[in-house]
Amino acid sequence: MRARSFAVWHAATGWLVVLSMLALSPSSAMTQHTRPVHGGWAVAPTAPIKLHVASGDVLVTGWSRDSVHLEGEMAEGETLFALGAWGGLKLGAEGRTVRGASRLRVFVPSRADLTVRSGSAAVEVSGLLGAVDIGVADGSVRVEGAPSTLTIEALSGDVQVEAPNGTRHVSRGETANTAPAASPNAASAAASIGALRVRTTRGRITVRGHIQAAQLATVSGVVDVSAAPLPALRVSTVSGNVHLVTASTLTAPVQVETFGGSVYVTRPRGTTTEQLHSDTGEVMRNGQRVAATNISPSSAVLLTVRSFRGTIVVNDTVPR
């Protein structure tokens, strides 16, 4: 009898543990209630805006008004905070929450300087012309538009930068009339990113569009740059592969350094002088193995690719 009651007790506690784990699992917690939030604050057109969000989805859009507007849904247990005044604003969600629970859309002046910090939020930014600085531990980052400077740091998340394909760089000194209006896409269509710095640990870095200068670094993430022309570019990886694609002749120096990662370059035939060197890997040009060249500093060399054990593959495209 005692053995039977022990078996019943044992089974009951086992199910209790399983049910408790299910109740605490993220999928179950995702169903928790959210509540709508909104707020508005008047700020200067070039005011620094700092946004802190632990998790969820954050969409930041530049607009032509001199104010910040926030709307969306916030998880229970989180509270909206905002500190600051006309000269600058710090806002966001604080409290313990569940990943993916909050969804916020924030409108900021397009010429404001924006700083975003998040643990695991998916951050999207568009239509900004000032300096943008985004730091995310695990979430993904996507930036569309033409900030004057763009700095992104992510540990495990992917980074995607979509710059416009125009050639004019919009400076912060432009007046409100020439700055982007309600449509950020219309504003960024004629601009470019002034300086781009991206650093990830293992997240993929994808860059498209017109950028004047870029520094991209990762440990094991893949770097994928496609632009015409390529910007003045420095890429550094430990084990991540690098893909560079351009349909235009190089006009600015491009330097790539990897250790275990391979490098793939596709550019027009007869582009520039170049130095391609891999200590123990192969160097291939248009499917043919070629001898590695020695690397020596020279301002005349526009394409420098150096790897320790990665393969270097350069393919010519036929000029249009």
Contact 157/136 with Cβ under 8 angstroms?
yes
* Residue for token pair 């690397």: 295
Please say which residue, 72 or 310, places its beta carbon nearer to other proteins: 310
Please say which residue, 50 or 169, places its beta carbon nearer to other proteins: 50
CB of residue 141 to other proteins, shortest distance in Å? 12
CB of residue 30 to other proteins, shortest distance in Å? 16
CB of residue 201 to other proteins, shortest distance in Å? 4
Please say which residue, 129 or 223, places its beta carbon nearer to other proteins: 223
Alpha helices by DSSP H, 151-226: 184-188
Please say which residue, 259 or 282, places its beta carbon nearer to other proteins: 259
Closest CA to 55 of 89, 84, 15, 95: 95
Rounded Cα gap, residues 132 and 279, in angstroms:
38
* Residue for token pair 């917690």: 29
Please say which residue, 67 or 151, places its beta carbon nearer to other proteins: 151
CB of residue 277 to other proteins, shortest distance in Å? 10
* Element containing residue 6 per DSSP (H, E): helix 2-24
Rounded Cα gap, residues 251 and 80, in angstroms:
48
Q: For the chain, what's the residue count?
A: 320
Please say which residue, 250 or 292, places its beta carbon nearer to other proteins: 292
Please say which residue, 176 or 308, places its beta carbon nearer to other proteins: 308
Binding-site ranges for other proteins (CB under 8 A): 54, 99, 117-120, 135, 137-138, 153, 155-156, 199, 201-202, 219-220, 236, 238-239, 259-260, 279-280, 308-309
CB of residue 107 to other proteins, shortest distance in Å? 24
What are the b/e assignments for 6-45, b being 16+ CB within 10 Å?
eeeeeeeeeeeeeeeeeeeeeeeeeeeebeebeeebebbb
Rounded Cα gap, residues 78 and 172, in angstroms:
35
CB of residue 124 to other proteins, shortest distance in Å? 18
Residues 309, 310, 312: CA angle, nearest 5 degrees: 130
